[in-house]
Amino acid sequence: MTKQGPRHPERRLAAVLLVEQEGMNFAEAARAVGVGREIVRRWWDVYQEGGKAALLERRKTGPVPRLSDDDLRGLVNSALASEGHLSLATMLALARSELGSDISRSALKRQLVAAGLWP
């Protein structure tokens, strides 16, 4: 097998096929592809649940946005309408009361900056 990191989909598929088609146990398949036994077990679980497509799917990294851009714009507009100016405290309170979100102050600010709605 060529050198590949554990995140390469071909390595995941190779390990799972060694278990499924060659009858190897997780430890043997792990040694064959150069990863730990528990990693192969996790790959096997993903494969059993979602098939080849799930195993080969590349997961996105980083935090998942907690509020949509439309929600963020609505918070900005609501804060301006109620207070006449923008404040994180006001938008955080609105996010909790109007949207039922438990977003943290820092996560809210990060999302506002990313959306271009906060300096």
Q: Is the pLDDT of residue 42 over 90?
A: yes
115: Cβ contacts below 8 Å, ≥ 6 apart: 69, 72, 73
Which pairs count as long-range contacts for 60-64, CB under 8 Å and 24+ apart, including other chains? 63/107
Q: Is the pLDDT of residue 21 over 50?
A: yes
pTM for the predicted model, two decimal places:
0.48
Q: Which residue has the higher pLDDT, 19 or 101?
A: 19
So what's the pLDDT on residue 57? 83
Q: How far apart are CA 19 and CA 27, in angstroms?
A: 10
Q: How far apart are CA 107 and CA 65, in angstroms?
A: 9
Q: Are 96 and 67 in contact (CB under 8 A)?
A: no
Q: How many CA atoms lie within 13 A of 100 on its CB side?
A: 0
So what's the pLDDT on residue 85? 86
CA 17 vs CA 1, 7, 54: distances in Å: 14, 16, 14
Summarize pLDDT for 59-102 with one digit per residue, the tens: 666 666 688 989 999 999 998 998 888 889 999 999 999 998 88
So what's the pLDDT on residue 1? 46
Q: Is the pLDDT of residue 2 over 50?
A: no
